[in-house]
Amino acid sequence: MASDEGGRNEQAKREVGWVVAVLVGASLGLIVDDLWVAIRDVTANGLAGIPGGAEDVVTGTARDLLVDGGALLGLAAIVYLLAPERLEDSDG
């Protein structure tokens, strides 16, 4: 019985690890996408073509990064913290 429970615990640890890794990867993908869009806008239009100039580009990009990436990173942290035994070894 103990080995069966240990096997299920290890499987749960692996599944939680994959979920957290996917959420972190998706978050990084959104961050890179937001940066790419900001750089594309600046290089295509120049700062003169953007109302508000560089300040709006920086604040808008920072806001997008925090909203898009931060939400998924927060979800990844919640999944990790709610994982069975918080991914600690139950052997000892």
pLDDT at 88: 55
In the prediction, which pLDDT does 47 show? 62
pLDDT of 92 reads: 45
Contact 46, 16 (CB under 8 A): no
CA distance 75 to 40: 29
Q: Tens place of pLDDT for every residue, the chain, 92 residues?
A: 455 666 777 888 888 889 999 999 999 888 888 888 888 877 776 666 666 666 777 778 888 888 888 888 889 889 888 887 655 555 54
Amino acid 35: pLDDT: 85
Q: What is the dihedral of CA 24, 27, 28, 30, to 10 degrees?
A: 160
